[in-house]
Amino acid sequence: MAEILTITANPALDLSTDAPAVIPDRKLRCTAPLIHPGGGGVNISRAIANLGGESRALVAYGGQTGQQLVDLIEAEGLTCGSLGVDYATRQSISVRDMATGLQYRFMMPGSDWTASDAEAACDAILGAVTPGALVIPSGSLPPGLSVDFFLDLVPDLAAQGARMVIDTSGPALSRAAEAKAGLYVLRMDTAEAEELTGRTLSDLHDIAALTSELRAAGAAEIVVVAAGAQGTVIDTGDWRGLTRPPVVVVHSKIGAGDSFMGAFALSLSRGEDAVTACCWGTAAAASAVTTHGTELCRREEVERFFGQVERVGM
Residue 229, SS3? helix
- The one catalytic residue among 14, 206, 258, 273: 258
Catalytic residue list contains 86 = no
Length of the chain: 314
**In this structure, what DSSP letter does residue 130 have?**
-
**In this structure, what DSSP letter does residue 179 have?**
S
H/E stretch holding 261: helix 256-269
- Using alpha carbons, list the distances in angstroms from residue 137 to 128, 175, 176, 261: 13, 14, 12, 11
Strands of the sheet containing 220-226, edge to edge, are 79-82, 56-59, 4-8, 134-137, 163-167, 183-189, 220-226, 232-235, 240-244, 310-313
Phi/psi for 286 (5° steps) reads -65, -40
- The catalytic residue positions are 258
